[in-house]
Copies of this chain bind each other. A is one copy, B any other.
Amino acid sequence: MKEVARLAGVSTMTVSRALTSPGRLSEQTLRRVREVIDRIGYVPNRVAGNLSSDRTTLVALIVPNLRNAILAETIKGINDVLFKHDFQLMISDCANSPVIEEKLVRTYLAQQVCGIILHNTMHTPGTKTVLRAAGIPCVETGNLIASPLDMIVSYSNSAAGSAMARHFAERGYRRPGLITLKIRDRERIRAARRGFLAGLRTAGLSIDRNAILEVDAGLESAGKGMAQLLEAAPRTDAVYLVGDVLAAGALFECQRRGLRVPDDIALASSDDSEWLANLIPAMTTVRYPRYEIGVQAAQAIVDSALGRRHPLRLDLGFEILQRQST
């Protein structure tokens, strides 16, 4: 910057202004400075700028699992908003561990991020303490819980579960089943299960204990889980699958066994994706606005960083997309 200032015959402050508030310079000074910047290929050091101004444009995102394709849309939404405002995204994977999440939060606070987006909603006491102490905006996106750390942009997994139970009842199914990802540390899955079971009760349906299963992630694991359920509770007529790709794995297992979906058994998924819509039969799913969740979460951080901070509890809702599988 000194070099640019020297060559343009101005002070470093003028160069600084040319970059941060060009409107406050005369046209000819601005032109002269920009010319030098282009000519010598000056790239400002934002680390120094950040230290001096005590602000950054860094936003952190911590997701439970980078492999989960369902998150890609939300990440894209975050990316697009941050890019538009010249903010940068730092991202990492906490492997669904609140302890790792806390370590990551501390790391990001040390990097002076101006905001944090957490997909998980279960945190260690340490996470809560340091976040509160830092006073930076924080958005949770994974589940619409009652007491967020700060802001929350999501939809209700438990309401979606209830809605699916109602859907099963309305379609005339009487012996429901439920396969979810392992619940430990996954607030979303727990909420979906609770909502589904409550919805069944409301609809006057009961569920066989043997028809409730937890499985690991992945198509093959889902297939095995489906096989297990079919053996333990063979009269089951409709299964709700909660967790990325589980429903597809279950469908493939049914097809391998020659079961007709939905005639022999109905299936529905908690996560919509292009895939599920194109399977044969097309899968009934919960759809929620994943891209929009990312957009709103990022926008909330940007607004806060720009001084327009406000409380935020945004329920972006969901819908049940009935397709051929129920």
Q: Chain A: residues with CB nearer than 8 A to chain B?
A: 41, 43-48, 50-51, 56, 58, 66-69, 72-73, 75-76, 79-80, 82-83, 86, 88-93, 106-112, 129-130, 133-134, 218-220, 223, 245, 248-249, 252, 255-256, 274-275, 277-280
Shortest CB-to-CB span from A26 to chain B, Å, is: 25
B248 close to A275 (CB less than 8 A): yes
Contacts of A73 in B (CB 8 A): 67
Pairs across A and B, CB under 8 Å, 18 listed:
A43-B109, A44-B110, A45-B110, A47-B50, A48-B51, A58-B111, A66-B75, A67-B72, A68-B72, A69-B69, A76-B93, A88-B90, A89-B92, A219-B274, A219-B278, A252-B280, A256-B280, A275-B275
Contact of A72 among B69, B76, B86 (CB under 8 A): B69
**B112 and A92: CB pair below 8 A?**
no
Contacts of A75 in B (CB 8 A): 66
Contact between B89 and A43, CB atoms less than 8 A apart:
no
A255: chain B residues at CB < 8 Å are: 280
Residue on B nearest A282 in the bound complex, by CB: B252
Q: Which residue of B lies closest to A72 (CB)?
A: B67
Residues of chain B lying within 8 A (CB to CB) of residue A129:
41
A92 touches which of B50, B79, B108 (Cβ 8 Å): B79
Tell me if A66 and B43 are in contact (CB < 8 A): no
Q: How far is the CA of A130 from the CA of B111 in the complex (A)?
A: 25
Beta-carbon nearest neighbor of A80 in chain B: B93
Q: Which of A43, A129, A277 has the most CB of B within 10 A?
A: A43
Q: In the docked arrangement, what's the CA distance between A53 and B89, Å? A: 23
Q: Is the CB of B79 within 8 A of A248?
A: no
A92–B92 alpha-carbon span in the complex (Å): 13
The listed residue (B66, B106, B278) touching A79 by CB distance below 8 A is B66
Decide if B43 touches A130 in the complex (CB within 8 Å): yes
**Which chain B positions have C-beta within 8 A of A86?**
107
> Which of A48, A88, A219, A279 has most B Cβ within 10 Å?
A88
